[in-house]
A and B are shown apart, each in its own frame.
Chain A
Amino acid sequence: MNTVHPVELFIEVRCEEIPARFVAPAMEGFAAGLGKLLGNLLVGEVRVFSTPRRLAVAAMVIRARPAVQKVITGMPLAQAKGADGEWTPAALGFARKRGGDASALFEHNGFAAIRSVEGGESADRVIAAGLEALILGIPFKKTMHWGTSPARFARPIHDVACLLDGSLVVAQVAGIGTCAHSVGHWLLSPESFPVSSADAWLGHLRDLGIYADRAERHQRVGAQLTAAAEAAGLRIEADADLLDEVVNLVESPRVVLGHFPMELLKLPPRLLIESMKVNQRYFPLFGADGLTNAFLVVTNNPQGNPELIAEGNGRVLAARFHDAKFFYAEDRKRPLARHAEKLGGTVWIRGLGTVAERQAEITTAAIRLSGTTGADPGNLRALGGVLKADLATLMVGEFPELQGHVGHLLATAEGYANAIAIEEAWLPRHSGDKLPSTPEGLGFALAERMTLLSRCFTAEMEPKGSADPQGLRRAAVGLVALVLALPGEAGSLGELYAEAGVPLPATLAEFVVARLRAVLLAEGHPTDLVEAVMAVGGSDIRATAARVRGLAALPKDELSAVRTTFRRVAGLAREHRSAAYALDLLQGHAEYHLHVAVKALPSADRPATEMLDALRRLRPVVDHFFDEVLVMCDDLPLRANRLGLLRSILDRFAGFADFTRLGGE
């Protein structure tokens, strides 16, 4: 038997519909688990296949590791054999430890020795023994019991096919014996068929209209969606997350075009779109004038009746939207101010007051910040009175993701100025999201986050570990983005909080600064620049960002030179306490030039751009100084003088960056 020539291992777990979001991590875990089980029996990569009803892997494996006979030597013969020529107890112990007895011992180059066989485990034994643990060990976000089986899996397992080189590997998984066949679509081709290899299996399924290769299915669904939209003379908006989810919901994709009643287009488009995407996983279709009443649904039945399926899906939307229409009509019977009256009876966060109080607190802070945001205090007062009113509407009760949007629409209908600010108070929703377009929106968004963070930190409700029920991390990231977008120069956290009249606990300031670090790193700036700048304090958000971004924007060569030069300055002078130096000890041109350049440096409190320009102008002067002058000379007064000169550079830039943290390239 050729034990080294690799053969194919194929495993398919067939089960009831696995939740779409479970699939990707499960397949990663399945492949990793297989690698771990096989160890060096595995040759090359593990291929993974998945549909909602099947999780499969294929890999090339060596049938068996070649068995190698080894001679293991023990103690010298002097200790291994007694005067009588018999093996000593020590030698017998050595043999026993390796699974032998006196008969296995022999003499080898003056030592007692024993033969041992290593390797030789066969792949089918390893697989048979480890299959159940491998499959039941596939990681899922949630697992369950079924029947009376003690096993847990994402959903009940029906069958497990396990083949090595086309032959069944006999094993049990959750009380089910392995098999050497597969089945097609539960409805269209439920008959079983024998499996010989992964490619034959994949091909057979493809003939049955099942695309078990996820990437291939993804590509097919995408192409079908585009083609169907084009055929209808409309377009879909790219939505990678939705597409990813839908691909994991079907194994035999077929796109069907559906419509909902035209009159329902009068409802807010965002509601229609969210409802189609989130609740139904449809792709809304857009025309020249925006949203249309057409949509695409990805079905799992390529032989279904498209008219019937389209009609059914359209009916579902109509039902859902009729309810929304009812809510919307009910909500519009009363002005927002009336809805707002209910907020006094709604608890915001247990122990932190009502939503009405929360609304007032945000409004007060937003008005106090209007000098910075440029918002109109009158508008803020008017909008602030109904800022959270939509929380009391039926529409938001039913579609919570529309909070803000419904308030905006109702306030617009009532003629509030800049009503969009009610919705913009929620911006940015995630990092990279758009920012408020109106000064009132900016004011509310800023006040919302500043007060939320302040209240929670004051009440010692800061996030612990991964628990962040109030979304404070996201709020802080949003706050950073908003501060960076403020008009004018303002950007210091302390000053903003003082202006808003809101307390800023020290722990909160640190928390926000930590988020600023994350934001800057997420922008792709080199870590050493972020660290060097933030080491000298980052609570002036805007200045910190300007320093990092300014440095990172330098041409590559210049940035590299800046790093080298100023890291050297810091390396030499950081332990030197005094920035004093005497003019009469300056020797030569280079030293004197540096002194003149240092004197011309702006004071440390100047804006980042000015400091950066000064840094760039200073750099060649310092380089020249290093070329010409030996700082660490033997003449100690002279050395101290030169270190003083360098130290004065560090001091001028003390508020700009800690040069010792600059890295290499």
Chain B
Amino acid sequence: MEATPRESFQSLILTLQRYWADQGCAILQPYDMPMGAGTFHPATFLRALSPKPWRAAYVQPSRRPTDGRYGENPNRLGHYYQFQMIWKPSPPNIQELYLGSLAAIGLDLKEHDVRFVEDDWESPTLGAAGLGWEVWLDGMEVSQFTYFQQCGGMELVSTPVELTYGLERLAMYLQKVDRVYDLVWVPPGVNADGSVRELVTYGDVFEWNELEQAQDNFENADVPEMLRGFDIWEAQGKDLVARRLPLPAYDCVMMCSHTFNMLQARGAISVAERAQYMKRVRDLAILVGREYVRKDAMTLDERRIEAGRSVA
């Protein structure tokens, strides 16, 4: 029998994917670049800019270099998973659908105290902002619920709603575990071929990684190289926008943002410089966003023609 979300981390993910797939979401995979939050995934940031309807859900590893604790803190991670759902335009019953997802992962809401507590969201590096809540389950923030109002410095015509689940936190609650590394990833049991299935914990998968990444983020990462790297990614991003290639240019936005986060963890950016760096990332994100909107209005054939390719 398949494990429930109360029994394993992977079941939690599988259940959420199934639930949102049933609501008509495209189940995507993580984007293959480092980022601080699922919002950076092009399926959210870029798609939000378009007036066209869109529904998608995916897991995205989020890297937060400053949150690394060498594996010594039972609750904090420098690398963790977000489950992200984006739906545009926001449907009127989205709160109900969201609560349905909590029920789907095995929470009897009548037993608990679920609340929507004001929390406006802003990403100064993406020029994005939204209004919404933190969703509290018995006082614990389990999701971020945001109606995007602005993205890439632009007001949005069609309002997307974004749901972000903190998967480890939710799993710790479901599994009643006090230390993230004790989460069951694969529960012990029997495999399809009758062989013994061994327990795999979150710690087995990630504890070593947390130690080394924290060492690198806080102590090792080469500051002058990263500062240079930031400049290079920024210049390349601008160049790609000039060449009317917003999608690869957006990759540069993500690299700038991640490099900035690494520099922050190394304590290499003063308070005054911090605002400057964020502005540089935002300015690039805005450039990319404008170019994306322009090309979004084109057909694929028009894009091929603009690229100098032949049209079938």
Contact = CB atoms under 8 A, between A and B. Distances in A.
B20 to A, nearest CB: 19
Contact of A350 (B158, B159, B272): B272
Interface stretch (A114-122, A225-233, A307-315, A459-467): A307-315
In this complex, which of B110, B113, B149, B178 has the most chain A Cβ atoms within 10 angstroms of its Cβ? B113
A483 to B, nearest CB: 31
B73 interface: yes
B271 A301 contact: no
Contacts of B73: 322-323, 326
Interface in A1-52: 16-17, 19-21, 52
Contacts of A147: 89-92, 158-159
A316 B178 contact: no
A315 B175 CA distance: 13
A67 interface: no
B95 A326 contact: no
Interface string B117-147: 1101000000000110100011110000001
A399 interface: no
B114 A316 contact: no
A156 B138 contact: no
A652 interface: no
B103 to A, nearest CB: 10
Nearest to A303: B110
B116 A312 contact: no
Contacts of A19: 118
A315 B120 contact: no
A311 B138 contact: yes
B159 A323 contact: no
A319 interface: yes
B139 A20 contact: no
Interface residues of B, number: 43
B146 to A, nearest CB: 10
Contact of A316 (B130, B140, B149): B140
B228 interface: no
Interface in A285-308: 297, 299-301, 303-305, 308
Interface stretch (A89-97, A138-146, A406-414, A567-575): A138-146
Contacts of A326: 69, 72-73, 76
B140 A144 contact: no
A323 B75 contact: yes
A323 B72 CA distance: 10
Contacts of B277: none
A347 B267 CA distance: 13
Interface in B185-234: none
Nearest to A22: B118
Interface in B145-197: 147, 149, 156-159, 161, 173, 178
B117 A312 contact: no
A148 B158 contact: yes
Nearest to A295: B139
Contacts of B158: 147-148
A315 B174 CA distance: 12
A319 B102 CA distance: 21
Contact of A144 (B117, B149, B173): B149
A158 interface: yes
A312 B92 contact: no
Contacts of A308: 111-112, 138
A148 B159 CA distance: 6
A145 B110 contact: no
Given A146-B159, A187-B110, A322 B74 contact: yes
Nearest to A248: B118
A280 B112 contact: no
Interface in B73-90: 73-76, 89-90
A186 B69 CA distance: 39
A188 interface: yes
Contact of A155 (B92, B113, B131, B140): B131
A345 interface: yes
Given A17-B118, A187-B114, A315-B178, A148 B147 contact: no
Interface of B: 69, 72-76, 89-92, 95, 99, 109-118, 120, 130-131, 133, 137-140, 147, 149, 156-159, 161, 173, 178, 267, 270-272
Given A20-B118, A158-B92, A347-B270, 9 more contacts: A17-B133, A144-B147, A145-B147, A148-B158, A299-B113, A312-B140, A316-B138, A318-B178, A319-B140
